[in-house]
Structure 1
Amino acid sequence: MEQMDSLWLTNPTLAYRDWQAREAAGADRRPFSARSIVQHQAMFEHFRRYLLARGASINSFGADDIDAFWQTADARSYSQATRVRYVKLLDRLCRHLVFSGVRHDNPAAALLAAERWPDREPMPQYLDAAQDARLQAYLQAPGEDLASLRGRAIVAAFLATGITASEARAARLVDLQLDASRPYLFVPAHGPRDARTVHLQEFAVPLLRVWLARRATQPIDGDLLFTLTPEGRPITDMSFGRIVAAALEAIGFTGAEPSPRTLRNTFCRRQLLAGLPRESVSRMLGLASHRTCDRIAATIESEDGNQP
Structure 2
Amino acid sequence: MSEVVGLVAMSHSPFATLLPAGGRSWPGGRFLADAARVGRAVKRLAPDAVVVVGPDHFHANFYDVMPPFVLGVEEVLGFGDFGSRSGPLPVATELAWSLRDQIADAGFDLSLSYSLTVDHGVVQSYDMVTDVPLVPLVVNTAAPPLPSMGRCVELGEALGKAIRGADFDGRVLVVASGGLSHWLPSNDPRDPAVQGERREAMIHGRKDVREFAAAREPRVRAMGRNPNAQVNAKWDQWFLDRLREGDLTSIVALGNHGLEAHAGTGGHEIRSWLIGQAAVAEPLVWTSYEPVPEWITGMGIGTTFEVT
TM above 0.5, one fold?
no
More strand by share: 2
More helix by share: 1
Which structure would you say has the larger Rg? 1
Report the TM range for the smaller structure's normalisation.
Answer: under 0.3
Which structure has the higher relative contact order (CA within 8 Å, separation 6+)?
Answer: 2
State TM-score, norm by structure 1.
0.25
